[in-house]
Amino acid sequence: MEFNDAAVEMRDDVGKPWRYEEDGCTVTRTCVWSAPGCHPVGCGLKVYVKDGEVVKVEGDENHPVTKGRLCVRCLAMKDFLYHPDRIIYPMKRDRADRGKDKWERCSWDEAIAIIKKNYDEVKENYGVESMVAFMGTGRQGNIGATGAHRVLGSPNGCYPLSGFSCYGPRVSITMDVVGSSYPEIDYAGGLPGGYDDPAYQIPEIIIQWGKEPIYSSPDGLFGHSIIDLMKRGAKLININPRITWTGSRAILNVQLRPGTDAALAMAMLNVIISENLYDQDFVERWCYGFEQLAERVAEMPPEKAAEICCVPAEQIYRAARLYANAKPASIAWGVSIDQSPNGAQAGQAILALMSITGNMDVPGGQVLVDMTAGDGGMQEDIDSVGWPEMKQELKDAIIGREEFPFYTGGLKMSQADRQLDALETGKPYAIHFCWLGETNLIAPTCSAQPKRWYDALRKVDFNFATDTWMTPTIQGCCDVVLPLASSLEMETIVPTHYGGSPNYVGALNKCVKCGEAVPEWELYRILGLALNPEAWENREKDFKEFYDIAMMRAYDFDYDEVQKKVVIQRDVSYRKYETGKLRPDGAKGFNTSTGRIQLYSPMFEAVGEDPLPYYFEAPTTPVSTPDLAKDYPLTMMTGAREIGYFHSEGRQIEKLRDLCPDPLVELNPVDADEHGIKEGDWVRIENPWGVCFLRAKITPIIKEGYIQAQHGWWFPEEDAEAPHLYGVWKSNINTLIPHSRMGKLGFGAPFRTTLVKISKASEEDLVEADRYGLEGADGKPLDHTDNFFRIDDPSLDPAAC
Ligand SMILES: Nc1nc2c(c(=O)[nH]1)N[C@H]1C(S)=C(S)[C@@H](COP(=O)(O)OP(=O)(O)OC[C@H]3O[C@@H](n4cnc5c(=O)[nH]c(N)nc54)[C@H](O)[C@@H]3O)O[C@H]1N2
Ligand SMILES: Nc1nc2c(c(=O)[nH]1)N[C@H]1C(S)=C(S)[C@@H](COP(=O)(O)OP(=O)(O)OC[C@H]3O[C@@H](n4cnc5c(=O)[nH]c(N)nc54)[C@H](O)[C@@H]3O)O[C@H]1N2
Ligand SMILES: [Mo]
């Protein structure tokens, strides 16, 4: 096979600014995205190469936003690049050997031929809809559902996390309410003068709502900007059940009960409206449904929310007044909202807070997409590849379409929980071919109840993966694996905030090549040409050209210019609702059906959801499931981000592993005492869905009655073969998270509100951990029933916390 290396060859025509010689090394200035996994912040690196090998990586002080600052994952890049366990050649294995470490290196031609043979057979016998492309979070190839739509020609692209509990809910809700991609805080990333730019204003208040960007830099937000802004006077409010590092420096911590964010946001609206603290002019001119919203939130006075959220009512008054009186103020919207089954409503209420206080699209407030400058156009180009050409009958076959039209219609992806049902039951039709791209879902990452996914995937006729490492998922379930290049091995761009918001665009300049690993887009093209040539022949020949087309339409610069300059800031304009830049037709107002921000959502109404925000109890809490709480009294949050790991990635890299060698669960000292658990003890955590083991970290940052468990754990140093699969079942916290507990729109899951009990693990427990993980504790079968699901039960008394 001929690689399209011309497009990714080093170029020396551009000169010093992006590449120069120093100390006998060639230094390349570049930005990163993924792999190693990260969201598209595009931090700046200087990569020192000698004799074709990376010898050193440093932060690039010339990068206008990150200014030389880097997290540990980038500082350990060299160890990632040359780690002996990385996959840098295609590999194959007989289907009968799934779970056995019997991989054989093969050529690209052979790997593609195997995939094509299976593709053709399945297409012929069952149709393309019986194929699914699964993807995890935020990588370069995560371009809409291109893998499914354009490479396989199937409608079923799937992000397999129950209730699409990340980003998708946020984007979908905002598209409907505001007519834009979700509004990130304005941290001056797009302004050439940065924080000192005359167009910018430092926010007086920043609310970090279920978000801790300092560790997560999520979705294109450079986390350290929070510190920069605090140094320039911004004050922090954290809405978080735990006191985090930034929380210890905040002026207010609202330590609400997990999953009650909608009640809190509604009560803050209640205060702001009843005390007349809102921006009347903005509301009158630009909001739709204010009266109805005011009526609705009148039902949620702070005293009532205080009972639901288990926080003092005064804190709610204080948070509301501080936020509404600050000019400007911003809210950083975290994944805790997406992960809540009530998150659509919490999100709706948070958008209403941003809007009625006049903070939408103002300097230092929230930034919105400039549709006329083409950000929207670029996003549209990216999201829609392959979809417009698809036959209507195939689009109609998308899994979960009838039940969840808002989810499947907006995201053009199959609904995650129904996708698992289809794999398990063969209904509405059987699945015969899966592509596991960028997800390690049987590790506690992109799935709830991973054992169910494991069993279901192992029955599929053919599975292949595209990854940078061998993982438990690939080892357990796949037949072919194709190797992907890392950030330092490719030439492409990183559009911050997924190209959605006006910010900056960074270049990934190729530094080295490892084995036969290819950049993700190149891989799409190779596969696409083999499997679905009509969609690829006579089209863009590479990622560069793909982005060239999108960027030419979107921006006033092209790909080459980005590569030369390494980073281009977009320049930002504000209050675009007054200038017609929020709508593709250039009319004033917002890009919604009413032209205004829809505090009352006609679309929610059309799909059978309440058009206004409302509160309901999460599916497994002491309030919604009091019987369950008798045996499982603790509320478990999971997945608060660790700086050294990206979900399940990084455990092989010594420098990163040293920072956090074992899976940890945080316990309050009182709970630890009650159970005779000491710092570092292995803790047995269980509920009717499963059992797993993590080590105790005893800390007062978490309230009594709650625990916070890490996700993502497996042990790459342990036995690879099934059933052990690198110890993936031992600390698999997602085993305890039940499926299908989403809200009406199909979003959310109890990742941060599950009931459990804990005890000190016995020696026998630890010996039997694999068996428990696979079969349930003490041989009791895992409970997969829906007995505890009562979202609509009106008799629930939220005051019972
Ligand atoms: N309990 C619990 N579970 C959670 C969460 C939680 O808070 N609590 N958070 C959830 C959230 S928000 C998310 S988004 C999911 C994430 O879930 P995943 O995205 O599935 O997580 P990863 O473990 O990072 O798995 C990604 C795989 O992609 C590979 N990879 C890295 N870079 C690239 C690339 O550029 N291309 C390709 N093809 N592969 C690449 C990695 O090596 C890794 O094997 O986890 C979810 N799981
Ligand atoms: N280093 C690193 N960075 C990452 C990732 C990673 O795995 N590692 N994952 C990436 C991904 S896919 C995502 S989605 C982002 C997520 O990044 P963020 O949105 O910043 O979210 P988290 O760090 O998961 O959680 C933030 C906080 O939410 C709190 N919390 C828990 N439950 C609740 C609740 O019910 N309500 C409220 N208000 N707060 C709650 C937790 O205590 C935690 O401190 O990070 C991305 N960045
Ligand atoms: Mo995520």
Does ligand 2 come within 6 angstroms of the Cβ of 335? yes
**Of 367, 392, 422, which one is at a domain's C-terminal end?**
367
Instruction: Residue 750: name the closest of 307, 449, 399 by CA.
Output: 449
Note whether 157 and 227 are same-domain residues.
no
Residue 479 lies in a domain: yes
Lowest mean pLDDT across 141-150, 218-227, 482-491, 644-653: 141-150
Q: In this predicted model, what pLDDT tens digit does every residue of 385-398 receive, in sequence order?
A: 788 889 999 999 99
CA dist 221 and 242 (Å) reads 21
- Closest CA to ligand 2's atom 29: 210
Does ligand 2 come within 6 angstroms of the Cβ of 182? no
Instruction: Residue 730: name the closest of 709, 750, 749 by CA.
Output: 709
- Closest CA to ligand 2's atom 19: 334
Does ligand 1 come within 6 angstroms of the Cβ of 490? no
676 alpha carbon, distance to own chain's centre: 36
Does ligand 1 come within 6 angstroms of the Cβ of 494? no
Note whether 239 and 202 are same-domain residues.
yes
Note whether 361 and 436 are same-domain residues.
no
pLDDT for res 504: 86
Note whether 479 and 359 are same-domain residues.
no
Does ligand 1 come within 6 angstroms of the Cβ of 250? no
pLDDT band (50, 70, 90) for residue 562: confident
Does ligand 1 come within 6 angstroms of the Cβ of 471? yes
Lowest mean pLDDT across 1-5, 469-473, 668-672: 1-5
CA of 447 to the centre of ligand 1 (A): 10
User: What CATH number should be reported for the domain holding residue 283?
Assistant: 3.40.228.10
Note whether 164 and 281 are same-domain residues.
no
Does ligand 2 come within 6 angstroms of the Cβ of 39? yes
360 bridge partner residues: 366
- Closest CA to ligand 1's atom 44: 440
User: What CATH number should be reported for the domain holding residue 136?
Assistant: 3.40.50.740
- The answer, yes or no, to whether residue 12 has pLDDT greater than 60, is no
Note whether 188 and 173 are same-domain residues.
no
Span 67-71, average pLDDT: 94
User: What CATH number should be reported for the domain holding residue 710?
Assistant: 2.40.40.20
The vertex-737 CA angle with 733 and 739, nearest 5°, equals: 145
Percentage, residues of the chain above pLDDT 90: 78
Note whether 237 and 306 are same-domain residues.
yes
Note whether 233 and 328 are same-domain residues.
yes
Instruction: Residue 289: name the closest of 710, 603, 751 by CA.
Output: 603
Note whether 216 and 127 are same-domain residues.
no
Q: Which residue has the higher pLDDT, 564 or 402?
A: 402
CA of 128 to the centre of ligand 3 (A): 28
pLDDT for res 557: 74
pLDDT for res 502: 59
CA of 161 to the centre of ligand 2 (A): 15
Note whether 357 and 424 are same-domain residues.
no
Does ligand 1 come within 6 angstroms of the Cβ of 733? yes
- Max CA-CA distance within the chain? 73
- Closest CA to ligand 2's atom 41: 640
CA of 218 to the centre of ligand 2 (A): 8
* 3-25 residues labelled b (16+ CB within 10 A) or e (exposed): ebeebbeeeeeeeeebbeeeeeb
CA dist 548 and 238 (Å) reads 40
Q: Tokens at residue 357, please?
A: 């206080």
Number of domains in the chain: 3
Note whether 174 and 289 are same-domain residues.
no
Q: Can you spell out the DSSP letters for 676-688?
A: T--TT-EEEEEET
Residue 285 lies in a domain: yes
Residue 466 lies in a domain: yes
Question: 3-class SS at 54?
Answer: strand
CA of 686 to the centre of ligand 3 (A): 24
Domain boundaries, position 355: 184-367
Note whether 203 and 171 are same-domain residues.
no
Span 125-154, average pLDDT: 88
Does ligand 1 come within 6 angstroms of the Cβ of 656? no
| Predicted structure pTM score | 0.95
